[in-house]
Structure 1
Amino acid sequence: MRILYHHRTRGRHVEGVHIRGIVGALRELGHDVDVMSFPGADPEREVETTTTGSRSRLAGLVTKLPGVVFEMFELLYNVVTLARMSRAWRVAQPQLIYERYSLFLFATIWLARRRGIPLVLEINDSALVERVRPLKMRLLARRIERWCFRHATGLVFISTYFRETAIAAYGEISPCVISPNAVDLPRFDPSRFDREVLRTQRGLSGRTVCGHVGAFAHWHGVDAFVEAIAQRLDSVPDLALVFVGDGKTLPAVRELIEARGLSDRVLLPGRVPHDEVASWIACMDYAVLPNSNHYGSPMKLFEFMGMGVAVVAPDYAPVAEVIADGHTGWLFPRGDAAACVERVLELAQQAEERRRVGQAARDYIANERQWRNNAEQLLTLVPAEACP
């Protein structure tokens, strides 16, 4: 089947990982997939070439516009989409459109309905949830979203909570599946790495290592977690922490670590290329996700679990869909930083428990949460007559 994957993101970081995962899985299943990206974006390479650099810089400037102006640009992008999609239909003649949903974007669905082509929407964002950039034209965004959710051929939600939120707000919506994030298991394979060599190179030899990979942002709770556990690290002398990533709260965390004299116990390597993430996870005995949100499916959970590294995580519904407490990970009451710290400290002294749960986590990923699983799920939404 000829599939056109369309997205309006810059295709970087987690977005790029997800796009490459789905596109790669569809191709492995034998489908021809073309990717139509935001001008200047190239998620399949995750680099910006000199020929698209000016457009990429323009995209960066647009994201810094005031709220209402930025949302007007999002709305106007429908005109660009209509023109680009019309050309794509003449050249590629797709039999299925798979689109990563973006607020205010309705042109693809409108055009697909006119052409009689099935279109499946992947829902990672919504006008119904709290967003990093506050939504100004909320009422208009929800009206467009309701129309999109009702007129797409099918919907792929990243969590049950997300689907239930949409149904509660919009009533009847298109057929849908729940498809949390996934992982490229061959890339996230602990057998690829010499764990002890890596730990020695990074000053972690002989330590029990608890780690985290992700952005240093207030809503992820890394700063609050580090501040809380820093006061108790002396109770577990062998425990070391590794927090990979950067963001607004990283300078404050660095300052705290230096002030407490814990630089030899808490490693902060900053952001690393995605190709290097697995090597850092290979150094860890277990991991921690200090906070999340009500609707998201954190990519880092799947990458940790794929590496056989189980995670201490908050009991939000989407997280609990992936982690069975005491079996494929450990849950603590969301918002309870003290409970999170307590569980991390307890597990530092339970090597067999960490190994048992880590292996169960990897088995779960291998059986249910590879990108192939997501691709197979989304294809169930396509009418049989559309498939050759």
Structure 2
Amino acid sequence: MKILMATAYEYPHIGGLSTHVTTLKAGLEARGHEVDVLSFSNIQPVVRKLYAQGPSFVINKIKKGQGILWTHRVRQNCLKSLIMKNKHKNYDIVNAQDPFSTLAAVEAGLPVVSTVHGYATFESISKGSMIEGSPEAKKFQETEIKAYTSTRKIVTVDQRLRDYVKNVSGVEGLAIRNFIDIHSFKPDKNRKNELRVQYDVSVDEHVLFVPRRLVKKNGVIYPALALPAVLEKYPNTRLIYAGNGNQMPEIKKIVEEHGLEEKVTLLGDVPHEKVKDYFALADVVIVPSIHSAGVEEATSISALEAMGSGTPLIACAVGGLKEIVNPGVDGLLIEEQNVEQMSDAIIKLLDHPDEGAEMAKKARLKIEQQYSHIAAAEKYEEVYIEALK
């Protein structure tokens, strides 16, 4: 089968959608399919900057939400043109990764299966890009619903998203939870000290790792708030963030207020292939997601990668995280935004490293059995075949 993965966003980029596409592509190719990717990154840079991104920023300053509508219309139209130019490759199906690439492929006349990664409208509201209840938010959701009702099949990355799509559009989707490349993200603890030297991290420190985009729904301020209590018992502890976003200034403010400058490392965006090194050199991984403007974590790829990498995980009990973590068995779940519970959970894992190692071992086994990219590719293949009937 010839499959086209399409997204109206940049690819590759830092984030779960990009990781999903790369990993699913690898799984499908391993099963003998031919897979291409078309994205907004394939559009000429001058068009991206001058036609989509620049005007969007200015327009959104004038009327919040209008710029977001503008850039997504441009992205959709650009992607449609790109798909039309590539129709000669005779793709059997397009797997669209967002509402705008869905509509672009539909308008280009190709059969489409859509993967829903999140709550598009609510996520824009959560990021502060548009105002809840505004005409712009209503228009954005109308576009979202049009995509759901236009595609042949919908796959969502967790059950809650499946319910959301059904509630807003009446369309019944299929939940296929996120997955990881189990051959790439695997335990590598024998290189822990070597990697710490390579990345200028002390071999004597207790390392806490937060592999998240620095946005509100990811709850990234809470590990920094929990750190002072951890340092009282374990003063030789370092908190490392890998990610960027609008919460960076807030984290820096917390760091400054608590005098944590020597204990917190903000790496910014880290290439995905290097993130696995930080999993290997860390003692604890934290995925501190929260509810924000109706948005909750799906089946977090960051959490799955942590569980596949042999490092014990602390996650907040929201969204898909509650599905993938069996608390006390293959990770720890805590109440969202609860700083005391987070510091207590970190201290527990530092107090009892053998228990953490046992949880990490069971987490790896779960990933191999339930979250393999090869198994997920087989499920997607079945959806494609059904969509083409």
Shorter-chain TM-score above 0.5: yes
- What is the DSSP-based 3-state SS (H/G/I as helix, E as strand, rest coil) of the residue aligned with 2:213? coil
Matched, 1:290 2:285: no
Residue type matched to 1:212 in 2? Answer: V
Aligned match of 1:169: 168
Deviations 1:195-253 (Å, cap 9, x if unpaired)?
A: 12223453432333222112333433332431233144112345433223333443554
Selected match of 1:178 from 175, 178, 182: 175
More off after superposition, 70-79 vs 22-31: 70-79
Q: What CA distance in whole angstroms lies between the structure 1 residues aligned with 2:371 and 2:83?
A: 31
Residue type matched to 2:214 in 1? Answer: F
CA RMSD of aligned residues (A): 2.8
| Deviation (angstroms), 1:385 | 8.9
Q: What CA distance in whole angstroms lies between the structure 2 residues aligned with 1:203 and 1:69?
A: 42
Deviations 1:246-277 (Å, cap 9, x if unpaired)?
A: 33443554465466454454343443222211
Aligned match of 1:363: 365
Q: What CA distance in whole angstroms lies between the structure 2 residues aligned with 1:271 and 1:84?
A: 28
- What is the DSSP-based 3-state SS (H/G/I as helix, E as strand, rest coil) of the residue aligned with 2:195? helix
| Deviation (angstroms), 1:79 | 4.3
Matched, 1:97 2:94: yes
Q: What CA distance in whole angstroms lies between the structure 2 residues aligned with 1:261 and 1:21?
A: 40
Q: What CA distance in whole angstroms lies between the structure 1 residues aligned with 2:381 and 2:56?
A: 33
Q: Is the 8 A contact 2:40 2:79 kept in 1?
A: no
- What is the DSSP-based 3-state SS (H/G/I as helix, E as strand, rest coil) of the residue aligned with 1:155? strand
Matched, 1:61 2:54: yes
Residue type matched to 1:134 in 2? Answer: M
Aligned match of 1:379: 381
| Deviation (angstroms), 1:282 | 0.9
More off after superposition, 95-104 vs 74-83: 74-83
Consecutive unaligned residues in structure 2, runs of 5 or more? none
- What is the DSSP-based 3-state SS (H/G/I as helix, E as strand, rest coil) of the residue aligned with 1:321? helix
Residue type matched to 1:283 in 2? Answer: L
Q: What CA distance in whole angstroms lies between the structure 1 residues aligned with 2:281 and 2:244?
A: 19
Give me the identity figure in percent.
Answer: 19
Q: Is the 8 A contact 1:106 1:148 kept in 2?
A: yes
Residue type matched to 1:36 in 2? Answer: L
Residue type matched to 2:283 in 1? Answer: D
Selected match of 1:329 from 331, 335, 353: 331
Give matches, 1:224-303, under 5 Å.
224-254=222-252, 256-257=254-255, 260-293=258-291, 294-303=296-305
Q: What CA distance in whole angstroms lies between the structure 1 residues aligned with 2:234 and 2:226?
A: 14
Q: What CA distance in whole angstroms lies between the structure 2 residues aligned with 1:63 and 1:371?
A: 36
Q: Is the 8 A contact 1:128 1:166 kept in 2?
A: no
Q: Is the 8 A contact 1:26 1:372 kept in 2?
A: yes
Q: Is the 8 A contact 2:212 2:287 kept in 1?
A: no
Deviations 1:31-67 (Å, cap 9, x if unpaired)?
A: 11222222546xxxxxxxxxx4434434442552412
| Deviation (angstroms), 1:358 | 0.6
Q: TM-score, normalised by structure 1?
A: 0.84
Question: Residues 138 and 217 from structure 1, CA distance in 2 versus in 1: closer, same or farther, beyond 3 angstroms?
Answer: closer
- Decide which structure has greater helix share: 2
Q: Is the 8 A contact 2:8 2:101 kept in 1?
A: no
Q: Is the 8 A contact 1:228 1:337 kept in 2?
A: yes
Q: What CA distance in whole angstroms lies between the structure 2 residues aligned with 1:380 and 1:110?
A: 24
Question: Residues 2 and 208 from structure 1, CA distance in 2 versus in 1: closer, same or farther, beyond 3 angstroms?
Answer: same
Q: What CA distance in whole angstroms lies between the structure 1 residues aligned with 2:249 and 2:69?
A: 31
- What is the DSSP-based 3-state SS (H/G/I as helix, E as strand, rest coil) of the residue aligned with 2:174? strand
| Deviation (angstroms), 1:313 | 0.8
Equivalent pairs counted in the alignment come to 370
| Deviation (angstroms), 1:13 | 1.1
Aligned match of 2:115: 122
| Deviation (angstroms), 1:366 | 1.8
| Deviation (angstroms), 1:123 | 0.6
Question: Residues 311 and 262 from structure 1, CA distance in 2 versus in 1: closer, same or farther, beyond 3 angstroms?
Answer: same
- What is the DSSP-based 3-state SS (H/G/I as helix, E as strand, rest coil) of the residue aligned with 1:379? helix
Moved over 6 A (4+): none
Consecutive unaligned residues in structure 1, runs of 5 or more? 42-51
- What is the DSSP-based 3-state SS (H/G/I as helix, E as strand, rest coil) of the residue aligned with 2:321? helix
Q: Is the 8 A contact 2:238 2:264 kept in 1?
A: yes
Matched, 1:320 2:329: no
| Deviation (angstroms), 1:105 | 5.4
More off after superposition, 56-65 vs 206-215: 56-65
More off after superposition, 303-312 vs 259-268: 259-268
- What is the DSSP-based 3-state SS (H/G/I as helix, E as strand, rest coil) of the residue aligned with 2:115? strand
Matched, 1:209 2:234: no
Q: Is the 8 A contact 2:2 2:34 kept in 1?
A: yes
Residue type matched to 1:219 in 2? Answer: K
Question: Residues 156 and 195 from structure 1, CA distance in 2 versus in 1: closer, same or farther, beyond 3 angstroms?
Answer: same
More off after superposition, 154-163 vs 222-231: 222-231
Q: Is the 8 A contact 1:310 1:329 kept in 2?
A: yes
Q: Is the 8 A contact 2:314 2:334 kept in 1?
A: yes
Q: What CA distance in whole angstroms lies between the structure 1 residues aligned with 2:168 and 2:228?
A: 43
Question: Residues 79 and 270 from structure 1, CA distance in 2 versus in 1: closer, same or farther, beyond 3 angstroms?
Answer: closer
Deviations 1:10-37 (Å, cap 9, x if unpaired)?
A: 1211133222112222111111122222
Q: TM-score, normalised by structure 2?
A: 0.84
Aligned match of 1:47: none
Q: Is the 8 A contact 1:104 1:141 kept in 2?
A: no
Residue type matched to 2:9 in 1? Answer: T
